[in-house]
Amino acid sequence: MFETMRNNRIISVLTNEVWALEPGKLMQVAEFAQALVEGHSTNGEMFARVAGDSDGASRPYFLTDSGVAVIGVDGVIGRRLNLFQSISGGCSTELLGKYIRAAAHDPAARAIVMDINSPGGGVFGLTDLVEIIRLARESKPVVAFTPETMCSAAYWIGSAADEMVCTVDAEVGSVGVACMHFDRSAKDEKDGVKRTILYAGEYKRISSDEKPLTEEGTAYLQQKVDQYYALFVEAVAANRGMSVEDVLANLADGSTRIGAEAQAAGFVHHVGNMEFAIGRALKLADTSTYTLEATMPVPTDGTGTAAGGGSGSFDLSALTVEQLTQANPDLAAAMMATGVNAERQRVVELLETGTDPKLTLEAVKDGIDSKSFFKQALDSERKGKAAALETFEKNMSQSAGGDGRETTDAGGDDFDALVSAHMGSAKCSKGNAILAMGRKHPAAHSAWVDSQN
């Protein structure tokens, strides 16, 4: 009886999860769940095949002689993964977050490399983990590396790094989500089991496993999948500094790429081995201000006492150009050059947005970075077009058929307007709006996709 209860809990976990998982691994999960549904016994070998291996290492990360913290991301990913980890491994986003925080605060670690070998996993916990990686990047560079597989949820995590590296034969991508529904009604009938479900709430059992999935149940699950897909796409766009449109057009079709093809398609920055990834992390650390406090000599007053008092340390926030030049002229010159180049690049990026000149000039004066300015420009543009979009949406039904689909061909520009209008009326994200309008206006969506390439 305990075995049956345990199997029922496992089935619930596997089938109620929304998976950001490479399709081949998702099939293994499905086969495992099906074996439990049919009452077959399972063993550690089957768990291991689904979850992936774990070396049981007690150290949270490996620190190289050069000061790079290498953190492993192996097997199926989940928030806790108590089920898989207790048998044979997998990767917990909560534990991974703790390891990354520890490495970010480790004074001996100059940089972080995430050594990823995972087909993906559940979507829960990924947003929190990405935020931890983003915060870690404020103190030291983070590089994502894979020697084998970085797919789906693993790609979601890896995209949060400063740079992404894969080997020549590694598989990368699978940007998409999926969920499974199991229909147990035929097995129940064969076994002479009749289940009566008492419930309250219209959607409480809309996709339950004691009956075939209805059209309404399918639509309900598809809506959930679309929402998580939109979160995935928007996260990759934010992490990689891309637009949602570019991610949808070039990365988010669920496909995978290998090695140089992955680099050419824009999934990764570089192709190389672990040594290359560690080298990139060190180069990022050396060419940034991350390690300023650890490497810069402290200027003294000539008696061995730190300038301004103290015994060899000082407040970097009060550091002047003169103090920096006295302490390390080469570093001061390099930082000045880096600052000039960075400012020049910022101004160029602001000008290239092609937005209102007055708004652009204010951004240049205020020191706003290009990403923040782009968001401000979009907000300004949306507010400016609010009245026109409202009128457009009111008149939209005049050009649609009885089923709500368009009756005439439309171009990419028209689809952008449809998306903007839907965002305003439905109060949803751009990713969700693109999905909704793509289903309602397939011709316009097709023209829009073509215009992105």
Pair 263, 269: CB distance under 8 Å: yes
Judged by average pLDDT, the poorest of 114-123, 180-189, 364-373 is: 364-373
Q: Where is pLDDT greater, at 372 or 202?
A: 202
Q: How much of the chain, in percent, has pLDDT values that exceed 70?
A: 63
pLDDT, average across residues 265-292: 87
CB 231 within 8 A of CB 175: no
pLDDT of residue 267: 97
Class of domain 1-213+254-295: alpha beta
Confidence of residue 361 (pLDDT cuts 50, 70, 90): confident
Residue closest to 159 by CA, chosen among 172, 168, 177: 172
161 CB-near residues (< 8 Å, 6+ apart): 114, 133, 137, 142, 143, 144, 239
Position 202 scores a pLDDT of 87
Q: What is the pLDDT of residues 317-332, one digit of tens each?
A: 455 667 666 666 766 6
For residues 181-206, give the mean pLDDT: 88
Task: Indicate the pairing of strand 120-122 with strand 19-21.
Answer: antiparallel
Residue 116 DSSP code: E
Q: What is the per-residue pLDDT for 294?
A: 37
Centre a 10 Å sphere on the Cβ of residue 269 and count the other Cβ atoms it contains: 17
DSSP state string for 94-112: HHHHHHHHHHHT-TT-SEE
- Whole-angstrom Cα distance, residue 398 to residue 275? 61
Higher pLDDT, 12 or 371: 371
3-state helix, strand, coil in the chain (%, to 5): 55, 10, 35
Close Cβ partners of 357 (under 8 Å, ≥ 6 residues apart): none
Q: Identify which of 275-284, 431-440, 441-450 has the greatest average pLDDT.
A: 275-284
Q: What is the pLDDT of residues 36-92, one digit of tens each?
A: 545 555 444 444 444 444 444 444 799 999 999 999 999 889 887 655 444 445 889
CA atoms within 13 A on the CB side of 99: 23
Model pLDDT, residue 38: 55
Decide if pLDDT at 6 tops 50. Answer: no
Q: Give me the pLDDT at residue 21, please.
A: 54
375 falls in which pLDDT band (50, 70, 90)? low
Rg of the chain in Å (alpha carbons): 26
Domains of the chain, residue spans:
1-213+254-295, 296-301+315-379
Contacts of 93 (CB under 8 A, 6+ apart): 77, 78, 79, 124, 125, 126, 128, 129, 157
pLDDT class of 387 with cuts at 50, 70, 90: low
The stretch 406-434 carries a mean pLDDT of 76
Distance (Å, whole) CA 9 – CA 6: 5
Sign for the CA dihedral angle at 161, 162, 164, 165 comes to negative
- pLDDT the model gives residue 439: 79
**Selected residue with higher pLDDT from 27 and 270:** 270
Contact 427, 397 (CB under 8 A): no
CA dist., res. 374 & res. 413, Å (int): 19
Locate 137 and state its tokens: 């990047």
Enumerate residues 6+ apart whose C-beta is below 8 A from 370.
346, 349, 350, 353
